[in-house]
Each structure stands twice: as C-alpha cells, then as structure tokens.
Structure 1
Amino acid sequence: MSLHKQPDLKEAVLNLSQKEKDKLLVRLVGKDKMLMKQLHFQLLEDQIDLEDRIEKLKERLQDLFAEGRHSIKNLPMYSHYKGLQMLLRQASGIINEHEKITKDKFSEVECRIYILKEAFQRFPRLFEPTAIHPGLKLAEYVKARLRITTNKFDKLHEDLQFDLQESMQQVLDFAQEHGLI
C-alpha cells in the first residue's frame, strides 16, 4: 500500500514533530538497502567517487566475463547457451544497480554496450541460428537487451553518443548479421 492512497496517513505523518519525523526517516531508510545506497551516493559522494564507481563496475564486468570464459565455451550446446544467458543477466543486474544508485546514464549505456560486445566477440557461435530451446531463449533475451540499449543510447546527448558510436555500431553490425535485429 502506498502513501498517496492513504491521504489521512500522509497528513498525520506531515503533522508529526520534526524530531519524530527524523526518527521515522532513519528507521525507514535502514530497512531499504537500495535507498541507503542511493542516499549514501547523493549525500556523501562526489564526481571523483562516481568515477571510482564506474571503474569498479567495469572491473567487475571484466572479471565476470573472464570467469565465464572458463565455464562457457563457444560451442552451440545446451549448457553454454544457458550459461551465457545467466552471465548476461548477472551483468545486467550489476549495471541496473549502478544506474539506480548513481543515475549516470552514460556509464550505464557504455556498460550495456560492453556486455553485448563481449558476448558477441567471445561467443559468436552461440548466436548462430539454432533449434535448441535455450539458444532461442538466449536470442530473445539478447534482442530485448539490444532494444533497451539502443533506446537508451538514442536518448543520450549527441556528444555522448559520439563517444560510444564505434562500439555501438560494432554491436549493431553483429546483431544484424546474426538476425538479432
């Protein structure tokens, strides 16, 4: 139940003393880990911290793909399709968390392009036409990721798009070659 559907409760909360509101706020923030991370970033971090976060994010994604190289092979087999889809989901989750905390659109798009490019470069055979169900599911998942990434890319300022244009074009070329768009 949300507060805007409870106008009486909202009014009662607004009428509390400042001290009581502060106590409630601290208790509520402590119950939501994502909210705590967002507030920490907004209130206690600056541009240098954002750059550090972006570097750590890129390192995590690189490590994730390096680990994936050992368990996922570039062979069109059931387990490899499933493994790559799980890897891409995990990488997307890491990027989603980064974006929710920082609201930094450029690094989000940059990292989304990176994971697609890495998947295409490391595992091109997994994107060839197949009748294996996990292969079809992987293709559908990647199509959705491509749409999301393309939409977010298109919303960036043209100067920012310019910085990512080459990588984005490589991703789109591969996707078109393999019938993903």
Structure 2
Amino acid sequence: MEYSKEFKQAISAFTSQEKDKLIIRLLRKDRILSHRLYFELIDEETADDKRLQMESLIKTEVKQVAQKYGRTKYFLPGIRRISAKITEHVKITTDKFGEISLTLLLVSETLKHLPKSGDHYKLYIYLLNKIFRSLILTKKIDPDYYLDLRETYEEVKKEILQNKNLEQLALHNGLFLSWFEPENIPEHMDVILKKIKAEGLLK
C-alpha cells in the first residue's frame, strides 16, 4: 500500500503524545512488529545469537515431533509449525543467511528422524519445495556465504542419498543433486522452478 503525500503530512502533524499512543496501539496489534522493534532497539542479542538458538530449537523440536507423530498424519503439520518459527525469526531479525541455513537444517533434521516405514509423499514434496526455495535464496546472497552453507547443503544431500524413494522423487521433480554445491546452482533458479511447477510437478 502506498501512502499519499497528504496522509504523510497528516501523520506528521500529530503531537508527540499522539504519535506515542498510535505506536503503542499498533504494536499491541502486531506482535511481529513489536518483537522486531525490541530486537532493533533494545535486545543485546545479535541475529547470530538468535540463529544459534533457532538451530537448537529446530533439532530439539523436530526430534520431539518425530517421536510423537512420526507415523501419523500429524507429522507434516508439526514440521510446518517449526518452519513458521523460522519465518518469524527472519521477520524479526531480517536474517537472510539464517533463512537459508535454518530451512536446510529443518530439512536435514526431518529426514534424519523420519520413520523408515509409512507414506511420506506429501512430506517429501513439502521438503523438496523448501530445498528449491533455499536454492533461489542462495543465489541472491553474497557468494562469500557459500562456504558457510556448503556443509549444510552436504548434510541434506547425504540424507537424500540414504533415502532411495526421496532421491528418485527429487530427480523426477527436477532437482539435481549437483546443485547442492552452492557454486553449481544455476542462474535464474526462480525461472527454473516456475517451469518445473508449470509441468505439474512438486505437487
């Protein structure tokens, strides 16, 4: 939404007290904005600190979800809830590197704790979409980060290679394992993904 010049002028005309009341009212209605302002203005922890906490949370909660719901239809919703926490972390900290590294960690930890038996097709498709999203984001960040991401990508690749059903599904849906080397990710990865989805894949 774009704000008109008149609207901006009207806001500027508010007294300091009126602006304070308006800000507090907005913060009460927007929890994410409230946390983000706290992080930027007061919080002594850095984005790196928050990311480390998220890494621990992901490992702990994925294991718990797998133990409790691994063989049931509730496993995927449980993983989605953890993914939502990553999204919240990114919105609060604007941690672009963490958006990639934490998502890949979620994928590898999910596969690591996945029960050997059961129908995991929907979960696999969900994870493949997460991987494609991570590939797109990786091409958008500074290549200096590639070295830091290589180990995480390698961990995901290892888990896929240990799961023949997933490996075949990945190839069928246009995901090449050579792309797990950040330097090998094709340019215009977003265009490639659109073409794959246009063919009815990743569903």
TM over 0.5: yes
CA distance in 2, matches of 1:49, 1:11: 35
Unaligned runs of 5+ in 1: none
Taking a change above 3 Å as real, the CA distance of residues 156 and 72 of structure 1, as seen in their structure-2 partners, is: same
2:113 matched to 1:122?
yes
Taking a change above 3 Å as real, the CA distance of residues 170 and 93 of structure 1, as seen in their structure-2 partners, is: same
1:60 pairs with one of 57, 60, 69: 57
The residue that corresponds to 2:13 in the other structure is 15
- TM-superposed CA distance for 1:166, in Å, is 2.7
1:69 pairs with one of 66, 69, 90: 66
2:101 matched to 1:110?
yes
Higher helix share: 1
The code of the aligned residue for 2:68 comes to: S
TM-score by length of 1: 0.76
Q: Is the 8 A contact 1:3 1:9 kept in 2?
A: no
The code of the aligned residue for 2:143 comes to: E
Q: Is the 8 A contact 2:104 2:153 kept in 1?
A: yes
Q: Is the 8 A contact 1:154 1:161 kept in 2?
A: no
Share of identical aligned residues, percent? 25
The residue that corresponds to 1:162 in the other structure is 147
Moved over 6 A (4+): none
2:131 matched to 1:146?
yes
SS at match of 2:138: helix
Give the number of the structure with larger relative contact order, counting CA–CA contacts within 8 Å between residues 6 or more apart: 1
The residue that corresponds to 2:184 in the other structure is none
TM-score by length of 2: 0.69
The residue that corresponds to 1:38 in the other structure is 36
Q: Is the 8 A contact 2:66 2:114 kept in 1?
A: no
State how many pairs are aligned.
166
